[in-house]
Structure 1
Amino acid sequence: MSTAFGSNPENFCYRHPDRQSFVLCQRCLRTICAECQTPLPVGVICPECLAAQQGQQKQQQKAHAATVKRMPRHLRPARRSDSRPVVTYALVIITSALYLIGMLPQVGTQVQLWLMFNSAFVLPGPAFQPWRLLTVTLVHASIWHVALNMLALWALGRSLEPLLGRWRFLALYLLSAIGGSVLVALLAPGTWVVGASGAVWGLLGAMFIIGRHIGANVTAIAVLLGLNLVITFLPGSNISWQAHIGGGLVGLLVGFIFARTRALRQQKLQVWLLVATAVGLLALLAIPALLYT
């Protein structure tokens, strides 16, 4: 190494003068060694320039957030939504776990008796247990029953939940479950029912309506609904057609509400229509209360 070369600081890292390098920081053009280099799409930069760049980005983000906060709510940019079907996965996991618990001797039987539905539990009296309108979705009659329902929930939920959003999807599922239980109470009083089939039928109904509204090909969904309808009424199927039809009808209604109230200015109307649907379903329970008490 020549004396001239060794005496030139530009041939050595400015942070480590004993390390020879010929790589320059793309911002300040100072020489940096391999340890001091941070790769970027435009080249490498030194630690000081990296810290300065990160500081500028944080200031810009804060300024942008402050600007957005001052804007009217209806003009603010939409937030990026998480497209993972978290509610779908949670429902599948909880339902499957409760089925496994239901297989335990003694304990499992008690869990099933606390969750399954019978119209007697929505009649006025000491046995009034309205939560069973929903908890019926958490218990199933067999491994095939729960497996098919959870497979359908997983398949439908992965498409519907990102499209609707988590809270709308959950509202659809719960309202459909209530719709199935209500029709059982109206048309099959005293019948014990279990399963999430009513809620799953609601998802199918909503997907059919929403698909039609956005111009999607819903032939496969229509065929699936038709096949399920035929299977439901097969002799000896031991299927509660009331729960299926009730859930499906509510799913069609909720899907129609979602399709017709998509605009931001209609969000309050959408919420009130969902509340009205829930109130209407619960009001229908007054019919069996008057007829059978």
Structure 2
Amino acid sequence: MTEPTAPAGVPTCYRHPDRETYISCQRCGKSICPDCMRDAAVGFQCPDCVAEGAKSTRSGRAAYGGRRSGDPTLTSKVLIGINAAVWLLVVATGGAGSRLYDVLALLPAGRCVPSGSSGQYFPGVSEAACVNSATAQWIPGVADGAVWQLLTSAFLHVEIWHIGFNMLALWVLGPQLEAALGRARFLALYLLSALAGSTLVYLLAAPQGSTLGASGAVFGLMGGLLVLAFKVRGNVSQLLMWIGINVAITVVGRGFISWQGHLGGLVGGVLIAAIIVYAPRPRRGAVQAVGLGALTAVLAGLVVARTLALT
């Protein structure tokens, strides 16, 4: 027995030619019968378009490996919260004269300061002579073993304008980068950029001068976003202009701005982002881990070499 067919000229379902229908797929326009209708955001789609859409739906993986961040703003919020909490504690305990300032700020080599006043120091006084004085105290630096200062200094601010500018920049840059890189890789970019900035400070800044602030990490985010923009062939003119303005401010204000931290963070951010986004897809995770590990080892080697020179 032959199956019935629809009258000539009447639209029929593309999967069931014997069924007359006046419903079309909202995506491709093919005629579909009620059995082939699939609910879509607008109207109905055919089974083929639904299957194709499922293939192209964003997966749970970020573009450059790792799990996609469910909330790309979360890590930036946490980092801003940590910086704000440290700032409040420092301000509440004396600002630049706070004991927290002495512990957290990046000080390449230790220095002897008057008791109760870390804003001044006695140049050329050794630790042995300082600790034997009743009117002075020794503030250790990285060369004395306070290696945590290489990272803690990136979470330390005293002036409100300093933390305000850095946190605003973090809020503008951070979510974009976390959305593209995933949470773990974004955090690696931020922390390693901060470490790169601190390392250059340790190498080139005055041994007994204090450095603080998240600017190295923020400049690393700028460098990372620049690499990402080049990777996706985006328009980098505005980003380059923004970086150029910040570099110009750094040069003009180099008497009170740590150009070493800014430069180290920027170069570090470019290298870190390049390792992440240009790692070959087949071995992406392994290449990224080895590359970031090697960069961290180089920074550690520079810190060791500088420590030997200072001691």
Aligned to 1:113: 102
1:179/1:246 contact within 8 Å kept: yes
Aligned to 2:256: 238
Aligned to 1:147: 164
After TM superposition, give the deviation of residue 264 of structure 1 in Å.
5.2
Aligned to 2:16: none
Aligned to 2:295: 277
1:205/1:251 contact within 8 Å kept: yes
2:91/2:158 contact within 8 Å kept: no
Looking at structure 2, the residues matched to 213 and 136 of structure 1 have their Cα atoms a distance apart, in angstroms, of 31
2:203/2:303 contact within 8 Å kept: yes
After TM superposition, give the deviation of residue 236 of structure 1 in Å.
6.5
Looking at structure 2, the residues matched to 165 and 196 of structure 1 have their Cα atoms a distance apart, in angstroms, of 21
Looking at structure 2, the residues matched to 151 and 196 of structure 1 have their Cα atoms a distance apart, in angstroms, of 11
1:184/1:191 contact within 8 Å kept: no
Aligned to 2:130: none
Looking at structure 2, the residues matched to 263 and 181 of structure 1 have their Cα atoms a distance apart, in angstroms, of 32
SS in 2 for 1:233: helix
Amino acid of the structure 2 residue aligned with 1:175: L
Output the aligned Cα RMSD: 2.1
2:67/2:182 contact within 8 Å kept: no
2:72/2:176 contact within 8 Å kept: no
SS in 2 for 1:103: helix
Q: Highest CA radius of gyration, 1 or 2?
A: 1
Amino acid of the structure 2 residue aligned with 1:212: F
Aligned to 2:242: 224
Q: TM-score, normalised by structure 2?
A: 0.65
Aligned to 2:150: 133
Cα deviation code 1:101-148 (max 9, x no counterpart): 11113598122221111112222xxx3011111111111130000000
**Higher share of residues assigned helix:** 1
How many residue pairs are counted as aligned between the two chains? 215
Q: Classify 1:264/1:86 alpha carbon distance in 2 versus 1 (closer, same or farther; 3 Å).
A: farther
Q: Classify 1:197/1:81 alpha carbon distance in 2 versus 1 (closer, same or farther; 3 Å).
A: closer
State yes or no: 1:253 paired with 2:241.
Answer: no
Looking at structure 2, the residues matched to 80 and 243 of structure 1 have their Cα atoms a distance apart, in angstroms, of 30
Q: Flag as ranges the 4+ runs of structure 1 deviating above 4 A.
A: 78-81
Looking at structure 2, the residues matched to 166 and 262 of structure 1 have their Cα atoms a distance apart, in angstroms, of 20
Q: TM-score, normalised by structure 1?
A: 0.69
Looking at structure 2, the residues matched to 242 and 106 of structure 1 have their Cα atoms a distance apart, in angstroms, of 27
Q: Classify 1:236/1:226 alpha carbon distance in 2 versus 1 (closer, same or farther; 3 Å).
A: closer
Aligned to 1:28: none
State yes or no: 1:174 paired with 2:191.
Answer: yes
Structure 1, 215-224 or 192-201: larger mean CA deviation: 215-224
Identity across matched positions, percent: 39
Looking at structure 1, the residues matched to 264 and 152 of structure 2 have their Cα atoms a distance apart, in angstroms, of 16
SS in 1 for 2:297: helix
After TM superposition, give the deviation of residue 235 of structure 1 in Å.
4.7
